[in-house]
Chain A
């Protein structure tokens, strides 16, 4: 177990180092932030002063070593635009993105798993077929289009829900959250659905495939022969066994929902991390973009780690083989 952990840690460090180089060089190859940020009225003297202030007059390698040096001390740089610590700007946006991703995850699991199981148990019924047809739609319709359609239908035509923004927030542990107020929840609903649609389709497919396979297995037949109610067979024995692939995929997808909800957050003007990323790219706010991508790398590493742990809990076989290793 310990060896396994150490090996994982080594791999992770390598990934972080490689990403640091790629991200830094990649981001610094695009455009010149000064051209975007400075007023056109500024004269050349003022422009040169601003370039020096941001450290852009130094060669790329020197900028990189300054960045690495600071990063090792936990400082990922200061935003060019806001002149505040880049990490704290990003973390300030984290709660908004988190709560949206969580709600979307809840939708994906509580809608996806039951529907997938129905489709798996009754693959040839009308319900099973329409669920599968629907999941293809969920897969193939572009995210931004779904978002615009949701806005058009529920906000513009029906006027039931607001078209975007975060609405009223209430504080929990000093952090503002939308899900604590009715107005906030109504603002969350459309973006969460938009974010969840693709994941729900994915979960449906996974759950269906798992259910079909599990339903034919010996232990299910045995349980049936033993006279267990089919309710108990489905809800306890099958449901438990199909969860491993679902948890794996959702773990990874949760990461991407938090890190790259760019489209949904832009369409719904949700002030989360994704919108911050796209705005920062447009403003060429390099430190924020770099810090964001580095944080994302960290997050994925941690999520993968947690997923590995969950395997152990869900599947005794993993537990046993890891114990041997």
Chain B
């Protein structure tokens, strides 16, 4: 039966398939298959990777992040602090929106006004605008932003949201900015208006053409782009969430490029004549240890919480062979980490090396701390969130067992893992952190600062590490506008955590992309897949 069905299919296929389908797509068109789909084209609806990547095609920010997340001029040509709480942004002349209206400072104010007013936003961008206390427009191409306290991260935060057109959304008069609610803005566009394309009017290199949820997102070239001509006449993004079919779509020639090819398929992809680009990402994979509960739920064989002792934390770190994890489990595609941010990014310490593997010293240290026989431990880990996450946890478990800590792995699907982790069910867990701002304060503030709702510290510090000295260094860094001084403080803070083994970095993920011959892609540390970075190679 199967044979006959196949035969039947073959003959049907021969009849149905026109020659045009078999030929490669026109050179001006680019099709990219992505593993995750944005939940909307509204740039302010959902602060999450896929949405943030997609909006960059249509909506630009005053400040751009390049592929290494360094800040570059975007809609603003320059910016500088006038004093500790005042910033001046000089805006670019001659920029127009897709509907032809000119870009001015009013559009930025309009955007900041809209961000808190997006209905039902699952994850709001207000985290990136709440520092803005006031905005003034001395002339149409100059914008003054006031903050309550010295706020050095303002340019970075400004780079996370795209600018809407006030005129295209029906604003004719002046806008009065106020945190409690602006005046003169009229009704803000709804999220659906962006999905239908009606409100999808930005200054970006590409214009909205078509959006069919679950199927495709199509952009076309913006001929009036201020930064030169786009390389592609149309760009189509197709969400293919399963790994196998995504690779197959590339091999079959249906798409020009895919993101996140599985590591085990890289050889096959290369051998079929396709190319792979890899780049260090901003994501660190780390182990966090419960340093609060006593006794702690995942530890057996002792009534105490061993992780409150820095010697135990150090012993665990020394017992882990990071080089072996990189080679055997990550297929060489990872970089052992000695810090929470990859080398070369703002606030990382030059020459920060990964902990050296030394199981003998680890055993000795463990005995010194009062655990000569070790103890029992369960590590929590997601099994579908990071590259080979459960396998990494397994390897760590074996390495810890070797120094006497009998370790098991409790690996579950991400949604369940995060829920249990946030209820403090794990004494040690494996997770990852990508630095959205591309600088050191992001991981420090989220992962190791003492949990504090008012300051917004320690949001993901589910080991509840707490070090007042570190907290005050972070406070200081976040109030230092001078870049050089701030970087020094961040390095000092990072060094402090590493010396205290408050958290154990394992490795930095390396992100792969695969594409056909004839195009090139510059890998991005933020792991975004942007058509803006895809160039025809010639």
Contacts and interface: CB of A to CB of B under 8 A. Distances in A.
Interface string A264-296: 001111010001101100101000000000000
Interface stretch (A197-205, A210-218, A233-241, A310-318): A197-205
Given A45-B453, A151-B248, A39 B416 contact: no
A134 interface: yes
Given A32-B419, A35-B419, A92-B213, A41 B442 contact: yes
Nearest to A38: B123
A137 interface: yes
Contacts of B212: 176, 271
Interface in B113-138: 119-124, 126-127
Nearest to A33: B415
Nearest to B458: A44
A120 interface: no
A83 B119 CA distance: 8
A131 interface: yes
A80 interface: yes
B415 A200 contact: no
Contacts of B33: 269
Contacts of A93: 214
Is the contact region of chain B dominated by helix, strand, or loop, or is it mixed? mixed
A40 B119 contact: no
A271 B122 contact: no
B456 interface: yes
Interface string A72-92: 000000101111100001001
A148 interface: yes
A30 interface: yes
A159 B242 contact: no
A153 B446 CA distance: 48
Nearest to A127: B4
Chain B interface residue bracket vs A:
35 or more
Interface string B100-122: 00000000000000000001111
Contact of A83 (B18, B120, B249): B120
Given A32-B418, A78-B120, A267 B127 contact: no
A284 B414 CA distance: 10
A193 B213 contact: no
A322 interface: no
B129 to A, nearest CB: 12
Given A151-B248, A269-B245, A39 B123 contact: yes
A298 interface: no
A117 interface: no
Interface stretch (A59-67, A178-186, A250-258, A300-308): A178-186
B394 interface: no
B252 A279 contact: no
Interface in A127-183: 130-131, 133-135, 137-138, 141, 148, 151-156, 159-166, 176, 182-183
A154 B1 contact: no
B1 A137 contact: yes
B215 A165 contact: yes
B415 A35 contact: yes
B355 to A, nearest CB: 25
B358 interface: no
Interface stretch (A11-19, A46-54, A221-229): A46-54
Interface string B368-387: 00000000000000000000
B1 A36 contact: no
Contact of A160 (B22, B48, B124): B22
Contacts of A40: 433-434, 436, 446, 459-460
B1 A135 contact: yes
B173 interface: no
Contact of B456 (A45, A81, A279): A45
A189 to B, nearest CB: 6
A163 B254 contact: yes
Contacts of B120: 53, 78, 83
A267 B241 CA distance: 9
A38 B328 CA distance: 33
A164 B245 contact: yes
A162 B453 contact: no
A159 B453 CA distance: 56
Nearest to B122: A37
Contacts of B434: 40
A151 B416 contact: no
Nearest to B385: A36
A30 B212 CA distance: 29
Interface residues of A, number: 80
A279 B214 contact: yes
B47 interface: yes
B433 A160 contact: no
A50 B124 contact: yes
A266 B242 contact: yes
Given A41-B436, A134-B4, A267-B245, A164 B22 contact: no
Contacts of A200: 1, 5
Interface string B397-432: 000000000000000011110110010000000000
B239 interface: yes
Contact of A115 (B4, B14, B244, B442): B4
Contacts of A83: 45, 119-122, 191
B440 to A, nearest CB: 14
Contact of B242 (A44, A133, A182, A267): A267
A42 interface: yes
Interface in B1-32: 1-6, 8-10, 12-14, 16-18, 21-22
B253 interface: yes
B1 A134 contact: yes
B127 A42 contact: yes
Interface string B33-56: 100010110000111100000000
A26 interface: no
A186 B1 contact: no
A54 B46 CA distance: 14
Nearest to A133: B1
A161 B459 contact: no
B456 A160 contact: no
A111 interface: yes
B254 A41 contact: no
The winner among A44, A81, A83, A155 for most chain B CB atoms within 10 A is A83
Given A161-B13, A165-B215, A42 B459 contact: yes
Nearest to A163: B252
A39 B436 contact: yes
B456 A43 contact: yes
Contacts of B92: none
Contact of B416 (A31, A137, A204, A266): A31
B48 A39 contact: yes
Contacts of B433: 40
Given A137-B2, A160-B22, A30 B239 contact: no
Given A37-B46, A40-B433, A92-B213, 20 more contacts: A30-B415, A39-B47, A46-B126, A50-B124, A83-B120, A133-B1, A137-B1, A155-B249, A160-B17, A162-B254, A163-B245, A164-B245, A183-B21, A186-B21, A197-B5, A201-B1, A271-B214, A278-B241, A279-B37, A279-B241
12 contacts: A32-B422, A40-B434, A41-B436, A42-B459, A50-B121, A82-B39, A83-B122, A111-B8, A134-B3, A182-B18, A269-B239, A275-B214
